[in-house]
Chain A
Amino acid sequence: EVQLVESGGGLVQPGGSLRLSCAASGFTFNDYEMNWVRQAPGKGLEWVSYISSSGSTVHYADSVKGRFTISRDNAKNSLSLQMNSLSAEDTALYYCARYLRNLESLDYWGQGTLVTVSS
């Protein structure tokens, strides 16, 4: 069974940093590209970042470019999102999701981890 479990969320002050993790199981992690998607309270879905299966290619939404860094450890079946210079606009539930490149869609999602940026 495919499972994606996010962790690392919490309350952080504006300007602070946080590192999110996503533990993957039930599939061959290094065969799949991965994404982070977030959802602000009461709002819709916003794509955040993408990483290729090898980790050699990454993309970011303009709203997080230069502040967030996506990475993966295929040996540990783990995906990460390092978030720096956080602001209130980054408050959201952050989901990791598995990407099907040939079908351009996200077939499995975790339950999300909540990031709250507030003083």
Chain B
Amino acid sequence: ELVLTQSPATLSLSPGERATLSCRASQSVSSYFAWYQQRRGQAPRLLIYDVSKRATGIPARFSGSGSGTDFTLTISSLEPEDFAVYYCQQRSNWPGQLTFGGGTKVEIK
């Protein structure tokens, strides 16, 4: 069973600072990896797909990287609207069977 472990659970930063979020997979299942942002009271939205590609409309300050079992989401300079919860996601055994990480909350320091 694939497990995605996100760290840290909470990141306290100020606007303008750089945020680095990590996600570690318990095994290497797929080369594809995604990140989602969920603002308070809203549905999740796709930020990054295929490890490093930004979804439509996502600003360039968001970037994804990684391979194998270690993946990273970087926000180069935090804007007020970026304070939210971020989830990583990868396919499990079969197409469409998905696993999410536990989430990282980026909060205002």
Asked if B89 and A99 sit within 8 Å, CB to CB, the answer is: no
Q: Is A28 an interface residue (CB 8 A)?
A: no
**Segment with Cβ contacts to B, from A16-24, A40-48, A75-83:** A40-48
Q: List the 9 closest pairs (A to B, CB-CB), nearest first.
A: A50-B96, A105-B34, A104-B32, A47-B98, A105-B49, A45-B100, A109-B43, A104-B91, A44-B103
CA distance A57 to B94 in the complex (A): 11
Q: Is A111 an interface residue (CB 8 A)?
A: yes
Asked if B50 and A109 sit within 8 Å, CB to CB, the answer is: no
Report the minimum CB–CB distance from B76 to chain A (whole Å): 22
CA distance A103 to B103 in the complex (A): 21
Asked if B97 and A50 sit within 8 Å, CB to CB, the answer is: yes
Q: Is A11 an interface residue (CB 8 A)?
A: no
CA distance A57 to B97 in the complex (A): 11
Asked if B55 and A99 sit within 8 Å, CB to CB, the answer is: no
Asked if A45 and B96 sit within 8 Å, CB to CB, the answer is: no
Q: Is A116 an interface residue (CB 8 A)?
A: no
CA distance A111 to B91 in the complex (A): 23
Asked if B32 and A44 sit within 8 Å, CB to CB, the answer is: no
Which residues from chain B sit less than 8 Å from chain A, CB to CB?
30, 32, 34, 36, 38, 43-46, 49-50, 55, 87, 89-91, 94-103
Asked if B95 and A107 sit within 8 Å, CB to CB, the answer is: no
Known: A101-B96, A104-B98, A105-B50. 17 other contacts (CB 8 A): A35-B96, A45-B36, A45-B87, A45-B89, A45-B103, A51-B96, A57-B96, A59-B94, A59-B96, A95-B44, A103-B34, A103-B49, A103-B50, A105-B46, A105-B49, A106-B44, A109-B44
Q: Is A88 an interface residue (CB 8 A)?
A: no
Task: Give every chain B residue within 8 A of A112 (Cβ-Cβ).
Answer: 43
Asked if B97 and A44 sit within 8 Å, CB to CB, the answer is: no
CA distance A51 to B96 in the complex (A): 8
Residue contacts A-B, CB under 8 angstroms, 16 given: A37-B44, A37-B100, A45-B36, A45-B87, A50-B97, A52-B96, A59-B94, A95-B43, A103-B49, A103-B50, A104-B34, A104-B49, A105-B46, A105-B89, A106-B34, A111-B43
